[in-house]
A = this chain, B = another copy of it.
Amino acid sequence: MAQSILPAVRDVTALRDAVRAWRKAGLRVGLVPTMGALHEGHLSLVRAAKERCDRVVASLFVNPRQFAPHEDFERYPRDEGGDSQMLAGAGCDLLFAPERGVMYPEGFATSVIVADVSVPLEGDFRPHFFGGVATVVTKLLLQCLPDVALFGEKDYQQLLVIKKLARDLDIPVEILGCPTVREHDGLAMSSRNAYLSEDERRIAGRLNLILHDAIKAVRHGAPIADAEAEASRHLTAAGFTVVDYVAIRHAETLAPVSDASSARILAAAWLGKTRLIDNMAV
C-alpha cells in the first residue's frame, strides 16, 4: 500500500515560500499548531481546517518555554514519523517542524504576556505556562501568516489567551476553537493520556462524568460554590490524587460568576504523576 508522504520544512523562509506560492494561486491557508504526539483531537483540527481552507499547514514543536523545569518536557512523547503519516492521512499539506534554534535563536529575549484571562486557574498552577504559549503561538502565527489558525477547546483557557493576544496585537489571522474530541468513556483526548497506567486510565474516564454531574446540579439550581466543591469531592473519591481546581467561570473572561448563563466549568486534577484537564459549557 502506497503511503502518503507529507512534505516537511524546517525553517521560516521555506515555510513562507510555500505559503506565498499558495496565496499567489489564490488559495486559502489554515494552520494547526501542535506539539506532536498526535491523536484524533489534532486530526479533527486538520479536517476542520481543510473544510475552511485550500491548504493546511501543521506545525510540530515541543515548546520548552511552556514547561517549568520540574515538568515533563523531557519525557513528552515524540514521534515525528508517526505524526507525519497521521497528518497526511487527515489531509494536511505541509509539516512545519522547526528545531529549537529556529524558534529561539541566540539572544532571543522577547515575551508576549496576556494579563487577564491567563491569570486564574492554569495561571495559578502553572505560572510560566501562558507566557510560553503566548510567545510561541505569536511566533507561529507570524511565521506562517495563515488565514485561520485552529486550536482545540480542550485547552479552553489557552484558546481564550490566544484569541486575546491575536486581537490585542492585531495579528491578521482568524482564531478558531474546535470541540474537544473524546474517548468512548468521555475522556478528553490528550497526548498526556499515554502516561496513564491501566488503573489510572479507568479512573480518568470519571473526570468528564463528574463535570457533567456538576453542570446538571447547577442547572437544577445548586449554588455554584457547592457544585464546585461537590465535584472536587467526587474526583477525590474516584481516585484522583490531587484536584488543582474545579471552577465554574464566565466563558469569555473566566471571572467568577453568580449565575450559570454563559458559564463554563473547568477542572484540573492529578492521577499520580499525570495532570489532566477538561472543560465544558454549562
The residues of A with any CB-CB pair to B shorter than 8 Å are 12, 16, 105, 107-117, 134-135, 138-139, 142-143, 145, 164-165, 167-172, 253
Name A172's contact: one of B142, B165, B170 (CB within 8 Å): B142
Name A109's contact: one of B12, B110, B117, B171 (CB within 8 Å): B117
List B contacts of A117 (CB < 8 A). Answer: 109
Name 9 interchain pairs, CB-CB below 8 A, sorted by A. Answer: A12-B170, A107-B164, A110-B113, A110-B168, A112-B112, A139-B170, A142-B142, A142-B169, A142-B170
In whole Å, how far is A242's beta carbon from the nearest beta carbon of chain B? 29
- 19 new A-B contacts, CB < 8 A, other than A107-B116, A139-B170, are A16-B172, A107-B164, A109-B164, A110-B112, A110-B113, A110-B114, A110-B134, A110-B164, A110-B168, A110-B169, A111-B115, A112-B169, A113-B113, A139-B168, A139-B169, A142-B142, A142-B172, A143-B170, A145-B172
A110→B170 CA distance, assembly (Å): 11
Q: Using CB atoms, name the residue of chain B closest to A112.
A: B112
List B contacts of A109 (CB < 8 A). Answer: 114-117, 164, 168
List B contacts of A16 (CB < 8 A). Answer: 172
Whether A113 and B111, one on each chain, are in contact in the complex, defined by CB atoms closer than 8 angstroms, is yes
In whole Å, how far is A14's beta carbon from the nearest beta carbon of chain B? 13
**Nearest 5 Cβ contacts at the A-B interface:** A110-B168, A109-B115, A109-B116, A142-B170, A143-B170
A139→B169 CA distance, assembly (Å): 5
List B contacts of A135 (CB < 8 A). Answer: 169
